[in-house]
């Protein structure tokens, strides 16, 4: 197998309680996947776009990155253009589904794949490199999974439920290094944030479940009909009475 180049994009996360800067768990899972894919004919580069002086980046050294390349991008600039220029030519680009801080971070994998003209494989749980491309297992709702194959190069967005063991080793943090690099392209200015009042969406009425746990589980994982009736005949008054009778039967109204 020819030598493959893997790029892992990492970001600075935020602690869920105090908001302190730290490593992002989603991007750490992407780093773990890149290490799992690595063998003798592969190289893995860890890349961050932002402030080279950010101390939280040293956490990725403790998680297994020997070097973290940092593109010096000011906070008020978009990181897309510098990242596109930096990862151009890589066979596999790994990143988390979304970052823990920043605006619209979940769009970065899609924008990156579009700019690089690469296929995007979202919600990846595991990946295997083959001679004709890469095969990934994708997360689906209700516990389902499916395998997706794509030719290389490709962009992979790792799902938060990917099962990789993360080990924080202090000796690796001391041995690794942060390398600051000047970005070839300057990112576009970010648009100012717009704050709008929150609106409460309408609440959908739902009948109280009286079925057993097994029946509800089977209904959740199958596509069978959950019952109900379609009234096609009768006057508007009769149809309205049928709706009221349903609401009273399931205690959704008390009149």
| Chain segment 198-227, per-residue pLDDT in tens | 888 887 777 676 677 887 777 777 655 555
pLDDT, one tens digit per residue, over 232-253 is 888 888 889 988 888 888 778 8
The dihedral built from the CA positions of residue 76, 81, 82 and 83, taken in this order, carries a sign that is positive
Q: Return the CA Rg of the chain.
A: 24
Q: Where in the chain is the domain with CATH 3.40.50.620?
A: 4-182
CATH number of 4-182: 3.40.50.620
Residue 81 is predicted with a pLDDT of 92
Q: Which residues of the chain are modeled with pLDDT < 50?
A: none
Report CA-CA distances (Å) from 74 to 30, 56, 70, 177, 183: 24, 17, 12, 21, 10
């Amino acid at each position: 197998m020819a030598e493959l180049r893997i790029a892992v994009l990492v970001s600075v996360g935020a602690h869920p309680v105090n908001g302190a800067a730290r490593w992002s768990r989603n991007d750490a899972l992407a780093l773990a996947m890149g290490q799992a894919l690595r063998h003798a004919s592969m190289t893995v580069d860890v890349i961050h776009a932002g402030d080279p002086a950010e101390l939280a980046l040293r956490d990725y050294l403790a998680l297994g990155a020997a070097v973290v390349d940092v593109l010096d991008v000011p906070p008020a600039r978009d990181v897309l253009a510098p990242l596109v220029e930096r990862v151009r030519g890589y066979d596999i680009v790994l990143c988390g589904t979304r970052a823990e801080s920043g605006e619209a971070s979940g769009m970065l994998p899609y924008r990156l794949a579009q700019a690089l003209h690469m296929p995007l494989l979202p919600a990846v749980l595991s990946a295997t490199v083959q001679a004709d491309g890469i095969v990934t297992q994708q997360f689906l709702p209700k516990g389902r999974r499916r395998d997706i194959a794509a030719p290389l190069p490709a962009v992979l967005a790792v799902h938060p439920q990917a099962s990789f063991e993360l080990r924080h080793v202090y000796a690796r943090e001391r041995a690794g290094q942060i390398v600051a690099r000047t970005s070839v392209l300057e990112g576009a200015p970010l648009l100012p944030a717009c704050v709008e009042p929150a609106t409460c969406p309408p609440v959908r009425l739902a009948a109280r479940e009286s079925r057993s746990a097994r029946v509800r589980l089977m209904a959740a994982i199958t596509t069978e009909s959950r019952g109900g009736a379609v009234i096609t005949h009768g006057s508007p008054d009769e149809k309205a009475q049928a709706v009221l009778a349903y609401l009273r039967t399931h205690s959704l109204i008390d009149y």
